[in-house]
Chains A and B, each alone.
Chain A
Amino acid sequence: MRKMTADVVVIGGGSTGAGVVRDAAMRGYSAVLVDRSDLAQGTTGRFHGLLHSGGRYVVSDPGSATECAEENAILRRIQAPAIENTGGLFVATPGDDPAYGDRFLAGAAATGVPAAEISVAEALRREPRLNPGMIRAIEVQDGSVDGWQLVWGAVNSAKAYGARLLTYHPVTKIDVADGGVRAVHCYDQRRDDEVVIECRFVLNCAGPWAGQISEMTGLPPVPVVPGRGIMVAMNHRLVNTVVNRLIYPADGDILVPIHTVSVIGTTDSKESDPDHLPIPFDEVQQMLDAGEQLIPGFRRARAVHAWAGSRPLIKDDRVAASDTRHMSRGMAVVDHLERDGVKGLLTIGGGKLTTYRLMAEHIVDAMCEQLGDERPCRTAQEEISYDQGGHLYTVTHRLADREADRLGDQVLCECELVSRRMFTRLLSDQPVSTLDDLRRQLRVGMGPCQGGFCASRAAGVAVSEQAVDAERASGLLRLFLKNRWIGLWPILYGDQVRQTALDYWIYAGTLDVEHLPVPEQEVVR
């Protein structure tokens, strides 16, 4: 057993936890971030990649619209490399109510969301694949954002301020005694060891799993209902601008160009278990129909991957949800001092990735208030440092990088232009990673072939770099193939069937991956 002490333990390495741990560390608290798996593996890694301009909320939720517009500008400044300045369009397609555009423009003006109507001809000039029958188009300042880059940037910043990060440390128990939180118990999966972190404060940022965490306190549990949404990534950037339907927010009304793909989303349905989120055939069909409405011929384009994420919705009558003076729109906070008479514990639900920094500010403000500290937030002022510099992301950056080093290095993943050196550098920083952990940061295996050509190379390089032995490498390869398949089989049609057949040919046919010596225990992390 290991013992640690900290002012605050943040549970959950999604965007909320990452924002909070950075904020707390910058205000001088000693902080530990724990997650049961890798960073941003839950909801934060399973959205469509939209950095909201606020446009989506100008009619339905004006407060959120203003927050989004302000935070959008802040994030572009402090986390530029995680963000692509795609711009956004709201388009009314044939059959949509043209009058909604007037409400939209009035709402935008009232909420401070920059928006301007452009002609249909201009919209088609910018995005020639758009439905030529569209009736109105309004430009906004949407962007796309890489959730993994966002979270890793924030956590690395927190670490620079002394915060500690414990991934693959599921929480097993939270000690509550004498009306306050005392310690968090975790299990270190990699070292097979128990870790006890004595602390004054616990921020439960576990998102859809926050209900499960709350059960570990012995207090009345906080009911959290996962709201599942599916996303389908198309193999190409069918648009280079975020395209939204100019309608009251609905399902399948956003298409986001991010990295090499464009992502359509999303749906919303209640689930009981955030670890088992199906991608039903009829919802995929619904996304394709929605895509067809925005872009005629969408169904004939190639889909490359699908995933489901879950929004964490707190359902607790005793909670004053998003209208407390502390909190951000769409965010729900259970203050356990108010609810249960227990000091040092907040449970957070809801929220939006675009406003993650502001949410963190409010949460840490609430913590400071309870602790009686006056420590102002500085997260909006300080830029987060990234290896790649301080510029906004551009989709062509890796082409330029590989042009520069192609004579001196190998390309491990041709689809996403990941060099061997990129891979080995991250592997040496994070040697206990799975191939999926590395994938989320490098995009290795995320392109058209979905790892068909690069996954075995990556496994081999990991052995040669002495990060793992052949048995673990083979287990990691098996895990990677199994995980890729989860997002492939629901969208197997068109050219992706052909690709998948080739991948089977390579892995089963040529490499016979099924008949590698059987591992004693299947690698799961």
Chain B
Amino acid sequence: MSRDAIVVGAGLAGLSAALRLAKAGKSVTLVAKGPGGLGLSQGTVDILGYTPERVTAPLDALGKLSADHPYAQLGADAVAASVAWLRDELGPELLAGDPASNVHLPTAIGAIRPTALAQPSMLAGNITGGRRYAVVGVRQLKDFQADLIAGNLARSSAPDGGTVSARAAWIDLPARAGEADPSGLTYARAMDDPAFAERFADAVAAVAGDCDVVLLPAVLGVKRLGVWREVAQRVGRDVAEVSLQPPSVPGIRLFDALLAKVKAAGARHIQGSLVTGFASEGDRVASLRLAAAGGPRDLACSNVVYAPGGFESGSLGVDSYGVISERVFGLPLTATDARDLIGPDYWASQKLFAVGVTTDDKGRALGPDGPFRSNLYVAGGLVAGAERWTEKSGDGIAVATGVRAADAIIAGGAA
């Protein structure tokens, strides 16, 4: 049976597209190799953080980007509407904020990072001059080095120009008895038990000292939302979660919530299957080939939203001769020779990571003479023109391109 759409990829782009399509009544199959990229991310929604100057009003700053940036084609209105749609779908327990203005949140090494929408558990961390921050680490959790974080915050100016005061404190509380080296996710799962969250809060309260905000590792529950409120209440101060390197608990919360919504809206989910090829009929993609137990399987489709990620997922690759290619369709890319796109200076721009697929204004992958196929849309990290990690732009691009593809299909863009 041919579905209205197959969405490939369970990152922010694929999930946004799948949700939008399913909610519009389309029959959707979401195919993913793994759990997507959200669990690797900071778990907020960036629109634009740097141009390279620090951005406070991201929608206004989109105009400063070059013409081949994905945002230039999307336009600020579509970006704002898409991100606001995602926020409203996920609800205030998961995402809060205004796409038009950034908050500036501390990172797990003590830098101050702009982002547009954040989880409510993080918002008290919006670094504000004159406030006193206590950074409370957990001895058993190595990805949140409180002394380094506090030391760097204390030598920073707040984005509002004020001074920041920060100091570190530590608690000693194993997530599981006898374990010296649990991950943040282990803590988050422990925190799903209210009794553990209370013990944690009491330990934090005992060391937090004189401060306005307690900064904590982002491990305050993964299934149970709102643990941060209980902790704040027990500690008697504002608390804020600080995102850690992967596994990202806030990212996993977003993934879990979005996937649940996609399924609740009626989409079918095939997990653990790599898309390995495709078949065409005329100018259309007729089916996708999946690696599955027992042999390959072909899924017929009316439309494809291809959102598999970029270099980080292996969808874009470089071979040992320096040739860049896209894995499944062999899509035309903005560059195919990696040699001049990677340079010796770590701090310089690495153009390789902006290589990708160009699209028409509906989001269809472009070949030399128009759309590569009339029903193949691309979204997310595969879209060319952005150095997402340095700009802090990947989430906004993912949501807006996912929504764009879905809306084109909903509007009946391709038969």
Binding site for B on A (CB under 8 A): 281, 285, 288, 299-300, 303, 406-412, 420, 453, 456-457, 459-461, 463-464, 469-471, 473-474, 477, 481-482, 484-486, 489, 492-495, 497-498, 500-502, 504-506, 508-517
Known: A494-B318, A513-B111. A489 touches B343 (CB 8 A): yes
Q: Residue of A at shortest CB range from B49?
A: A512
Q: Which residues of A contact B291 (CB under 8 A)?
A: none
The residue that B312 contacts in the complex, of A469, A474, A502, with Cβ under 8 A, is A502
Give the distance in Å from the alpha carbon of A78 to the alpha carbon of B212 in the complex.
Answer: 60
Whether A504 and B344, one on each chain, are in contact in the complex, defined by CB atoms closer than 8 angstroms, is no
In the bound complex, residues from chain B placing their C-beta under 8 Å from that of A410 are 140, 142, 180-181
Within 8 A of A (CB), among B321-360: 321-322, 338-339, 342-347, 350, 352-353
A456 touches B108 (CB 8 A): yes
Q: Which residues of B contact A461 (CB under 8 A)?
A: 142, 145
302-320 of chain B: CB within 8 A of chain A: 310-314, 317-320
Interface residues of B in 116-167 (CB under 8 A from A): 140, 142-143, 145-152, 154-157
Q: From the candidates A471, A501, A516, name the one contacting B353 in the complex (CB within 8 A).
A: A501
Partner of B40, one of A407, A420, A486, A502: A502
For the complex, count residues of B whose C-beta is within 8 A of A: 64
- In the complex, whether B109 has a CB less than 8 A from a CB of chain A is yes
Is the beta-carbon distance between A510 and B248 smaller than 8 angstroms?
yes
| Residue in contact with B352 in the complex, picked from A477, A481, A485, A492, CB distance below 8 Å | A492
- Neighbour of B181 across the interface among A406, A459, A473, A509, CB < 8 A: A406
How distant is B112 from chain A, measured CB to nearest CB, in Å? 7
Q: Is the Cβ of A512 less than 8 Å from the Cβ of B148?
A: no
A476–B320 Cα gap in the complex (Å)? 32
Using known A-B contacts A498-B312, A506-B246, determine if residue A474 contacts B152 with beta carbons closer than 8 Å. yes
Q: Which of B12-20, B83-91, B389-397 contacts A (4 or more CB under 8 A)?
A: B389-397
Q: Which of B108, B319, B353 contacts A511 (CB 8 A)?
A: B108
- Asked if B42 CB lies within 8 Å of chain A CBs, one says yes
Ranked nearest first, the 10 interchain pairs of A and B with the lowest CB-CB distance are A460-B145, A470-B151, A509-B389, A485-B346, A501-B312, A460-B148, A508-B389, A501-B311, A512-B111, A512-B113
Indicate if B178 sits at the interface (CB-CB under 8 A).
yes
For A406, the chain B residues whose CB sits under 8 A away are: 180-181
Asked whether any CB of chain A lies closer than 8 Å to the CB of B41, the reply is yes
Q: Is the CB of B109 within 8 A of A456?
A: yes
Residue of A nearest to B323 (CB): A493
Please name 17 pairs of A and B residues whose Cβ atoms are closer than 8 Å in the assembled complex, sorted by A: A285-B321, A300-B320, A410-B180, A410-B181, A453-B245, A470-B147, A470-B154, A471-B151, A489-B343, A492-B342, A494-B318, A497-B317, A497-B352, A498-B313, A502-B312, A510-B248, A511-B107
CB–CB A510/B245 < 8 A: yes
Question: Are B320's CB and A299's CB within 8 A?
Answer: yes
> In the assembled complex, how far is the CB of residue B255 from the closest CB belonging to chain A, in whole angstroms?
15
A509 contact from B41, B148, B318, B352, Cβ within 8 A: B41
In whole angstroms, how far apart are the Cα atoms of A500 and B341 in the complex? 14
Q: A461-B145, A509-B42 are in contact. Are A489 and B344 (CB under 8 A)?
A: yes
Knowing A460-B109, A460-B145, A502-B312, the reply to whether A509 touches B394 (Cβ < 8 A) is yes
Q: How far apart sit A464 and B151, CA to CA, in the bound complex (Å)?
A: 10
Chain B neighbourhood of A516, CB < 8 A: 109-111, 152
Residue of B nearest to A300 (CB): B320
Most B CB contacts (10 A, CB to CB) among A469, A477, A485, A512 go to A512
Question: Could you tell me if B312 and A470 are in contact, using CB atoms closer than 8 angstroms?
Answer: no
Chain B hits for A504, CB < 8 A: 350, 353, 389
A417 to chain B, nearest CB (A): 12
B318 touches A456 (CB 8 A): no
Contact of B113 among A495, A506, A515 (CB under 8 A): A515
**Which residues of A sit under 8 angstroms from B148, Cβ to Cβ?**
456, 459-460, 463-464, 470, 473-474
Tell me the minimal C-beta distance from A467 to chain B in angstroms. Answer: 11
Chain B contacts for A514, CB-based, 8 A = 111, 347, 390
Most buried by B among A410, A497, A506: A497
Q: Which residue of B lies closest to A497 (CB)?
A: B318
Asked whether A493 lies within 8 Å of B318 as measured between CB atoms, the reply is yes
Query: Is A470 a contact partner of B322 (Cβ separation < 8 A)?
Result: no
- Residues from chain A with a CB closer than 8 A to the CB of B319 are 299, 493-494
Complex Cα spacing A497 to B149, Å: 29
Contacts of B54 in A (CB 8 A): 515
Please indicate the chain B residues that have their CB under 8 angstroms from the CB of A512 in the complex.
49, 107, 109, 111-113, 392
Most buried by A among B140, B148, B156, B388: B148
Q: Which residue of A lies closest to B108 (CB)?
A: A511
Please state if B111 and A511 are interface contacts (CB–CB under 8 Å). yes
Q: Which of B145, B147, B312, B320 contacts A456 (CB 8 A)?
A: B145
Indicate the member of B150, B320, B345 with the most A CB atoms within 10 Å. Answer: B320
Most chain B CB within a 10 A radius of its CB, from A461, A513, A515: A515
